[in-house]
Structure 1
Amino acid sequence: MDTVNSRHAGPAVAPQPWRRRTRRQEWAVFLGWLLALCVVVWCFRVMTQDTIWAFVSDAPRQVADVGWRMLPPDWAFIGELWLPLWDTFNIATLGTLLGLLLAVPVAFLAAHNTTPSRLVLRPLALTVIVASRSINSLIWALLLVAIVGPGVFAGIIAIALRSIGFIGKLLYEAIEEIDARQVEAVTATGATGTQVMAWAVVPQIAPALAGISLFRWDINIRESTVLGLVGAGGIGLKLDAALGTLAWPKVTTILLVILATVALSEWVTARVRQRLI
């Protein structure tokens, strides 16, 4: 019976090959990539319309010439860098501490689970965080040098203003991710708002706060090395002077000192994080 039925059955339909997209979707993807390529080509033409390509082709020779002029480093100049390097360290450290003191209350006001007012205070705190993160440390330093004059103080304030947004953003996100059950448990004991904050919220965010502060201090060490280029103190003043007089061996010495300082800050940060977190 099965044999008879199989004789009258039509030919077997071959299985269709699997396709990730339909033909229409493939054409849409192709046209999308083609449009993106056209936009990139147009942007490249706009950005390079004033480029002098003779200078670009001559750049490797100029780089090699400057490289030879920078060797060997002027090691006798290193004695003049210790005080500016100390100023750089103070700018980064004091700026980080000041930014931390200002960022912590801003973060508590920005977090939706700790802010006293979601309609007024939270938007204001978020505005402060966004404004701080939108302006680079060099721009803050340039503005502050014009307001308070050149020197280390302008650099400290610039680093602090830049740090508020970084610390505040990461910290308020950490506050919003705390375990609400611990807060409810402490609240159920009849604790006041301050006690709930001290015993339920702060212990949960303390490791994150320590890590964020160390990370920001490490970043500020790097940023403070160039603030002197706009007159905000530190080793950047020496770098600007050496570049201005084309003293390339001194420039090499300064860059090597900056490299060693950044490497040391990386090592210190890693060791402290291992102990605290």
Structure 2
Amino acid sequence: MSTAAPPNAALAHVEARTWRRFTPRQRISRFAVYLAVVIAIVLSVRAIEIIPEFLYDAPEQMMDLFRRMWPIAWSHYPKGVHDALVETLHIATLGTILAVVMAVPIGILAANNAVPSRPLNYLAKLMLVSSRSVNSLVWALLFVAVFGPGALAGTLAIAFRSIGFIGKLFGEALEESNRGTIEALEAAGAPWRSRFLWGYWPQVEPAFWSIALFRWDINVRESAVLGLVGAGGIGMALDSAMNLFQWDRVAMVLFAIFAVVVVAEVVVTQIRKRIL
């Protein structure tokens, strides 16, 4: 005959079991992550060598800079800003087109379902990583050294910087495509070109246009500063005005850049609504 446990003993057993959200190993891991973040912040603050005097004086200097920028030199736009702004748009547009032409084949090679060859996949991914790892200003410096100052260097810098972005996203879109249509075409004996045009492309076409438009929008912003290193565009007008301490003209250039970025965002949004 079994006897029931005393009520007091059962209650003590229940109270001894407490619910914890994380296991001891998880708590230690979270503490290690938090500690690493704190250490990284401390080391970063020490490395950048903040000068307290400059930090305290920053608000006053900013207000003085804004007072020098006002009123904006609107009269400087026709002769000093318009042509440079148009050149910036040309750099962004042509650079994006060149990037698309070069990135699409590399993106196809990077997709292991479209091109089932590991060496080619790794080579293409290496090229995409190499493109993304170098900043557009660094590309601009390299091409300025090769071709000299001007819009050509800026266009090539935008193009080579964009290859990694467009190729990576396009290759990932290919890898995520549905295999049903491709397998049907393979079973029918269709060559690779037909499989790509009728199997892969209809599935990735919306993603392709979305990637290209988004990259053009980014390139409009990036090409605005390439002139700071001599790669053409409105950045050269900005650099010239800053070197001459013509802050009202600097304000005009900054306003023009802001306006173009806003217009580009609106245009890209409208185009995506109509074609996607």
- Tell me whether the two structures share a fold, i.e. TM-score over 0.5: yes
Question: Within the alignment, does 1:265 sit opposite 2:264 as a pair?
Answer: yes
Q: What is the rounded CA distance, in whole Å, between the counterparts of 1:219 and 1:76 in structure 2?
A: 29
36 and 224 in structure 1: CA distance in 2 versus 1, 3 angstrom threshold: same
189 and 150 in structure 1: CA distance in 2 versus 1, 3 angstrom threshold: same
Measured after TM superposition, the shift of residue 121 of structure 1 is 1.5
Partner of 2:43: 43
Partner of 2:68: 69
Q: Secondary structure at the match of 2:66?
A: helix
Q: How does 1:183-202 map to 2 (within 5 A)?
A: 183-202=182-201
Measured after TM superposition, the shift of residue 191 of structure 1 is 1.4
143 and 26 in structure 1: CA distance in 2 versus 1, 3 angstrom threshold: closer
Q: What is the rounded CA distance, in whole Å, between the counterparts of 1:9 and 1:250 in structure 2?
A: 88
96 and 190 in structure 1: CA distance in 2 versus 1, 3 angstrom threshold: same
Unaligned runs of 5+ in 2: none
Q: TM-score, normalised by structure 2?
A: 0.91
Identity of aligned residues (%): 44
Letter in 2 for 1:271: Q
Measured after TM superposition, the shift of residue 68 of structure 1 is 0.6
Q: What is the rounded CA distance, in whole Å, between the counterparts of 1:276 and 1:39 in structure 2?
A: 49
Q: What is the rounded CA distance, in whole Å, between the counterparts of 1:192 and 1:27 in structure 2?
A: 56
191 and 236 in structure 1: CA distance in 2 versus 1, 3 angstrom threshold: same
41 and 86 in structure 1: CA distance in 2 versus 1, 3 angstrom threshold: closer
Question: Within the alignment, does 1:153 sit opposite 2:152 as a pair?
Answer: yes
> How many residue pairs are counted as aligned between the two chains?
271
Letter in 2 for 1:13: A
For residues 137-174 of structure 1, give each alpha carbon's deviation from its aligned partner in whole angstroms, at most 9, with x where no partner exists: 11100110001101011111000001100000000000
For residues 237-260 of structure 1, give each alpha carbon's deviation from its aligned partner in whole angstroms, at most 9, with x where no partner exists: 100000101100001111111000
Measured after TM superposition, the shift of residue 262 of structure 1 is 0.3
Q: How does 1:70-109 map to 2 (within 5 A)?
A: 70-80=69-79, 81-109=81-109
Question: What's the Cα RMSD here?
Answer: 2.2
Q: What is the rounded CA distance, in whole Å, between the counterparts of 2:271 and 2:55 in structure 1?
A: 45
Q: What is the rounded CA distance, in whole Å, between the counterparts of 2:98 and 2:251 in structure 1?
A: 32
Q: What is the rounded CA distance, in whole Å, between the counterparts of 1:11 and 1:197 in structure 2?
A: 74
34 and 200 in structure 1: CA distance in 2 versus 1, 3 angstrom threshold: closer
Unaligned runs of 5+ in 1: none
Letter in 1 for 2:36: A
Measured after TM superposition, the shift of residue 9 of structure 1 is 4.2
Q: Secondary structure at the match of 1:13?
A: helix
Partner of 1:137: 136
Partner of 1:115: 115
Q: Secondary structure at the match of 1:150?
A: coil
Q: What is the rounded CA distance, in whole Å, between the counterparts of 1:166 and 1:145 in structure 2?
A: 22
Q: What is the rounded CA distance, in whole Å, between the counterparts of 2:9 and 2:261 in structure 1?
A: 72
Greater mean deviation of Cα atoms: 39-48 or 209-218: 39-48
